Each structure stands twice: as C-alpha cells, then as structure tokens.
Amino acid sequence: MGQRTIRVIQTEQHSQDRLTEKSSLTFRPDEQGVEMPLINIYEDLTYQEIVGFGGAITEASAVTAAKLGESNRDAIINSYYNAQDGIGYTICRTHINSCDFSLGNYAYVEEEDPMLANFDISRDKETLIPYIKQAANAAGDDFRLYASPWSPPQWMKTTGEMNNGGKLKPEYRDAWARYYVKFIEAYEAEDLPVWGLTVQNEPKAVQRWDSCIYTGEEERDFVKNHLGPTLEAADLSRVKLMIWDHNKERLYDRAKIAFEDPGASKYIWGAGFHWYSGDHFESLSAVHDRFPDKQLVFTEGCHEGGVQLGSWKSGERYAHDIIGNLNNWMSAWTDWNIVLDEQGGPNHVGNYCDAPIIADTQSDSLTYQSSYYYIGHFSKYIRPGAVRIGCTKYTDKLETTAFRNADGTIAVVVLNRTDEAVPFTLRNNDELAETSIPAHAIQTLLFDNP
C-alpha cells in the first residue's frame, strides 16, 4: 500500500488564499513515540450524522438578486448550491408570511377568514419561489427546504398587528395549524417539497418586526393539540418539526418542556437554535445527553448592524460557532440571508445585517465576504451523510472538528484565530504528517481511510 496523502484547503487573512488548495502532505509511520504537537483523529469513535449546510432565501435575498444582471443572479446560487463550483449548500430556510427581511408585512390570508378559503401565495411566486427553485435545481437530490413563521396574520393576533410581539389568539389555534398545511401544499404545488418546519421564529422575543410570543408550555400544547395532529391528518408526518428556533442559552429549558411530554414529543423531530446570546455550546450537549433521539439544528445566525465589508472577524466568528456546535451534536446548519444589498437589506423596519455575499445593486457587482469562505471549509467538504469522528488537539490556540464522509474521505477542519502561526502534527492510524496553520487562517485537511 502506498503512502497516504492529505489535501490541504486554506483560507488566510494575510494572503490571497480563499478556499485555495495548497501543497499536499504525506503521512509517514509514527515510529518515534515521542510527544508532539498532535491533532489526533480516531475514526472508530462516531457521533452524529450530518444532514447538511445551507442558508436562508428570504424575500430580501430574492428581490436583491432580481435587481442584478442574470450573470450575477445565477452566480449567487451557484456559489452556494453548486457542489463543484460553489460551497455545496443543500439546505434552504424560508419564511411563512413576511419576516423583517421582507419588503413589508404580508400574510397569505390578509382579512379574517378562519376557513382560509382565500389562502394565496401569489406574492411569493414573484421572486421568492423562483429563486428557491433555482437553488433546488443547483443542489440536486440532497436539497432540503424548511420554513419558519415570524408571525401569524394580524387578525389572528392578540395585538391586531404582525409586528411588536403579541400572541396567537386561542380561538385561532386550529386555523393557524391548518395554515402550515396550506403553506406546504401550496409550495409543493410549485414543485418545492417542504422537508421541515419550525413552530415559530424566536418565540421569546418581542421584536419591532414580525414576531409572536409562546411560552414553553404554549408551544408544547400548540404542537400536541393542534399542529402535530393537523399535520398527521394531512398525511404530512414526514415533515421534520422543530421547536424553539431561538438562542442557545434557554435551549435546554425549552426542550425539556416539550420533549418530556410524550403527547408533544412524538410529533417533534428536533430543536432549532440561533447564536445571538453567545456560545453556550454545552447547552447542545445537555439536550443531546437528555434526549439523544432529537436532532439539533442551527436555524439562524448573522452579523447585525449592517454590512461590514472586508471584516475578517466575521468569518472567524462563523467558524468558531460552527465548530463548537458540531462538536456538541449539531446535525444541520443554516445561515441567515444568502445575499443582501449594499445597505444590508432590504428590511422593512431597518434591521440591517451582513451576509456572506453582498450585492451592489447600483453597479451590479458582488462582494464575497470572509464568512463565505470560512463557511465553505465545512459545507463543501463535510457532505450530507457524513459522521463526526473522534478528534483531540494539543492546544487551545486551535479549534478543530473531524468527519468521515459517506465515500470514506476524512475531513478535518482546523481554525487558528490567533496572531501567530501554530504548528501541529496530524496523527491517524499510527501515521503522522507535520505541518502548521498561518495566523488568522482556516484549513480543511482531506485524506482517505487506510
């Protein structure tokens, strides 16, 4: 058997490396048995299987792309959802009714109509659905679409408006549950199968944009008594239902309320989470340890406060969070808007944010942020069906994770957020390969099983 080689893919702040393939490394026998600056890879230790990586296509993303020429409009989709030429996204999140990254508040049933006879997704057909379909075509068979509501229609709310929180009126719980079914049926009539749903985006936050509040008990009971049975009656039990869809710091508490109730838990596939309250990686392991049959999905994260062109910390923040989540049982990951305009919108309440690709709609040009490349070190090389494997490191200066893909390829991601190059020796199956990672860089190392 010949020597095993290691492909090295690198993105580095202080060079032109952007998902650049560097000179390969070669394993040699581990014969000395002396201490080294090791990263150990143990493929016989296995953890969760990966569903995939992706981003959100909102009305804002679709409208922004529509303002560009066809070349750049297509380039955005291919940069994300093409596995060969792009970074291999396979997941897409979108919104049920409007969200803050819509051009304004809207619902599929605008006037009071508990029977939902006037349910109409024609607005989504203008730009949103065509762009999602383009992503689906680029991704192929592994494409997974899931949807989240930010607010029910204003006539279902205690406040009479979609913005500024409020709750779902008790008398409309059944109608709201049927609304999800109507959405799924309408999208699937457009040849867009819906893989999953979250019950409510950020159910604890009274936002100045589209929002709706549920306590843990209210969310549990809505699933148990309304949404779960309604999906089942419509023969939609295949749809992956996720609770919470909010920050990690209260993930365990909310999971416990829903998952300890057998009547609710039987309908729930997993829990979604965001990153806006800090790392809280241990909260993911807490949920997994207590409820190992439930999946953990990162459903949203972005840099707030508008566009930050050229920020390197943006990419490093993404990579740090992805590694921490993966090492604590996350099985799927979804960024927020795949593209925004030069202001970080459009957003109907001025809640401007950053995105991995920024489009200048005036000059018809695209800027790829550091976050795009950093995300690609995971999404392009850790493919659907990959399984996390054992990985240990010698220093906290490095952050690492490792996966075995379905084709047997092992992918090891190494992140260095420090100001100095850090040496390390990759060790697997009693073989070694010595190398280093530059300051403020990320590497993906790819090699075959022996």
Question: Which of the following is catalytic: 12, 59, 300, 316?
Answer: 300
For the record, the structure tokens of 258 come out as 């829903």
Residue type, 156: M
Question: Which of the following is catalytic: 202, 219, 316, 399?
Answer: 202
Q: Angle 251-259/281-290 helices, nearest 10 degrees? A: 20
CA distance linking residue 282 with residue 130, whole number of Å: 39
CA dihedral (311, 146, 92, 375) positive or negative:
positive
CB 60 within 8 A of CB 357: no
CA distance linking residue 444 with residue 438, whole number of Å: 13
Element (H, E) at 322: helix 312-326
CB 152 within 8 A of CB 172: yes
Annotated catalytic residue 126: no
Annotated catalytic residue 49: no
Cβ-based burial of 13 (10 A; exposed 0-12, middle 13-18, buried ≥19): middle
For the record, the structure tokens of 70 come out as 């066809």
> Omega of the bond prior to 346 within 30 degrees of 0, cis?
yes
Residues marked active site are found at 202, 300
